[in-house]
Amino acid sequence: MNTQEYINQSEQYVLHTYNRFQMVLEKGKGAYLYDTDGKEYLDFAAGIAVYALGYGNEKLNAALKDQIDQLVHTSNLYYNVPMAEASRKVVEATGLSKVFFTNSGTEAIEGAIKAARKYAFLKDGSTDHEIIAMKHSFHGRSLGALSVTGNDAYQAPFKPLIGGVKFAEFNNLESVKAQITDKTCAIILETLQGEGGIYPADADFIKGIREICDEKDIVLILDEIQCGMGRTGYLFAYQEYGIKPDITTVAKALGCGVPVGAFVLNEKLAENSLKPGDHGTTYGGNPFALRAVSTVFDLYDEMNLVDHVKQTAPYLEQTLEEIAAAYPAVFYGRRGKGFLQGLLVNADCKAGDIILAAHKEGLLTISAEGNVLRLAPPLIITEAQIDEMKEKLCRAVESLNK
């Protein structure tokens, strides 16, 4: 079949919940993707911050092929070898105590919410506890995760959602304090808001929330699904601030293409929340997914990926600022950390138009709320590929003015 035939067949049978771009991607290598017409794209989206290792990593592929020949699934009624290995690596990396593996980031959020509510229930036996989340946040699209997602456009068609959720202003500590009552059991936020417009947490804000949670025995949940796994130049973004959450959620680059997520709890929550029968999953933590997790951590160490991000990010930031300065009619600035960056698009332009123009030049990017052009490349990108991105993006912007 040709490209259009693939698209037509997909539209015939797949539920239309995505407005997909008119391309059919077929294969990838390193930081590049190729469509069925053979066109090459420099990928500065990485499957929405998933493919940290780039496409076709031979060691990851070999490990997954080997695991297929050994064991793919057993259920969680039994232990398996990759579980033992991956759990240790996740717990040690986060600095927390216990991990529960899921199939996705959304499921990780669901588990984190349940753990926080169970912790509060065990303290006082009440079921009317409240959670404070942030405006413009994004935590997923299942009903629980959607309930703590601060975007009414996502929520409105699916109400009523779970109750007892309040919303505060991100990076406004007084706004959070104003929402706290004696019923508050948890505060949930992204350490760096991704979908909401690429907003990193201010140090005073996130440290202040940690202090409040310590003082009032409130559970702090940090969502690191997009900003974790080295993307900000730290293995987990909260490590830059010198704090730890009570629970963190991880997914996306955790499996580098294999669907897997996790929520990780400190000792206090692990000992005083979910017990056998409280939570479960048939596929979560299966040997195939956890072989991916274990191998990903090994490759991060072997490739010094986090250090690479920390060393290369200033060049990416400088390059993006040069692009913004060169086209003031299109961009008015940059914000972000590490390899999760946003170019801020002026109101009379559309990030979506820039994305489509970039496709023609062989560059993949994505958008974020607030008319932001989001760049989340594989963590393996080089300065030369950043230069290539600049050339392609500049040509795309210039093509819009012709």
Per-residue pLDDT tens over the stretch 95-129: 999 999 999 999 999 999 999 999 999 999 999 99
In the predicted model, what is the mean pLDDT of residues 195-205? Answer: 97
What is the CATH architecture of 71-303?
A: 3-Layer(aba) Sandwich (3.40)
How far apart CA 396 and CA 284 sit, in angstroms, is 41
Q: Give every CB contact of residue 135 below 8 A, 6+ residues apart in sequence.
A: 150, 167, 168, 169, 170
How far apart, in whole angstroms, are the C-alpha atoms of residue 82 and residue 340?
A: 30
- What's the pLDDT score for residue 103? 98
Contacts of 111 (CB under 8 A, 6+ apart): 100, 102, 263, 274, 279
347, two tokens:
């109101």
The residue with tokens 């999953």 is 281
- Tell me: pLDDT of 304 over 90: yes
Q: With 80 as the cut, is the pLDDT of residue 272 above it?
A: yes
Residue-level pLDDT at 401: 80
Confidence category of residue 200, pLDDT binned at 50, 70, 90:
very high
- What's the pLDDT at 151? 94
> What are the distances in angstroms from CA 283 to CA 74, 225, 289, 393?
9, 19, 9, 40
> Strand ranges (DSSP E) for 283-385?
331-337, 340-345, 363-364, 366-368, 372-375
Helix (H) or strand (E) holding 8: helix 3-13
pLDDT band at 210 (very low <50, low <70, confident <90, very high): very high
- Please report, rounded to a whole number, the percentage of residues in the chain having pLDDT higher than 70: 100
Query: Which of the four CATH numbers 3.40.50.150, 3.90.1150.10, 3.40.50.1000, 1.20.58.220 does domain 3-56+304-400 have?
Result: 3.90.1150.10
How many angstroms from the chain centroid is the CA of residue 34? 24
Question: Omega into 160 within 30° of 0, i.e. cis?
Answer: yes
For the stretch 32-74, pLDDT in tens is 999 999 999 999 999 999 999 999 999 999 999 999 999 999 9
pLDDT band at 308 (very low <50, low <70, confident <90, very high): very high
In the chain, where the domains are located = 3-56+304-400, 71-303
If pLDDT is split at 50, 70 and 90, which confidence band does 396 have? very high
| Alpha-helix runs per DSSP H in 14-55 | 46-49
Which residues have a Cβ under 8 Å from the Cβ of 340 and sit 6 or more positions away?
49, 192, 194, 198, 226, 227, 231, 232, 374, 375, 376
> Do the strands 40-43 and 32-35 form a parallel or antiparallel pair, or are they unpaired?
antiparallel
Mapping DSSP to helix (H, G, I), strand (E, B) and coil, where does residue 368 land? strand
d(Cα 339, Cα 375) in Å, to the nearest integer? 7
Q: pLDDT tens digit string along 131-151?
A: 999 999 999 999 999 999 999
Mean pLDDT throughout 175-182? Answer: 98
Position 402 pLDDT exceeds 90:
no
User: Measured between alpha carbons, how far is 69 from 305 in angstroms, rounded to an integer?
Assistant: 29
Would you give the DSSP letter of residue 66? H
Among 111, 139, 96, 127, smallest CA distance to 285 is for 111
Exposure string for 122-136, b = 16+ CB within 10 A, e = fewer: eeeeeeebbbbbbbb
- Residue-wise pLDDT for 236-271, tens only, equals 999 999 999 999 999 999 999 999 999 999 999 999
Angle made by CA atoms 102, 93, 303, in degrees to the nearest 5: 100
The per-residue pLDDT for 146 is 97
Asked if 3-56+304-400 and 71-303 have one fold, the answer is no
Kind of pairing, strands 98-102 and 261-265?
antiparallel
Give the closest residue to 188 by CA, choosing from 292, 101, 81, 114. Answer: 114
Q: Which two tokens stand for residue 156?
A: 């409105």
Checking if the pLDDT of 279 tops 80, the result is yes
Amino acid 343 reads L
pLDDT at residue 223, rounded to an integer = 98
CA 107 to chain centre: 13
Q: Check residue 47 and give its pLDDT.
A: 97
Greatest CA span in the chain, whole angstroms?
Answer: 66
Please give the Cα distance from 357 to 400 (Å, whole number).
7
**Residue type (1 letter), 87:** S
Question: Taking the CB of residue 29, how many other CB atoms lie within 10 A of it?
Answer: 12
Average confidence score pLDDT of the chain: 97
Pair 248, 264: CB distance under 8 Å = yes
Which residues share a beta bridge with 102? 261
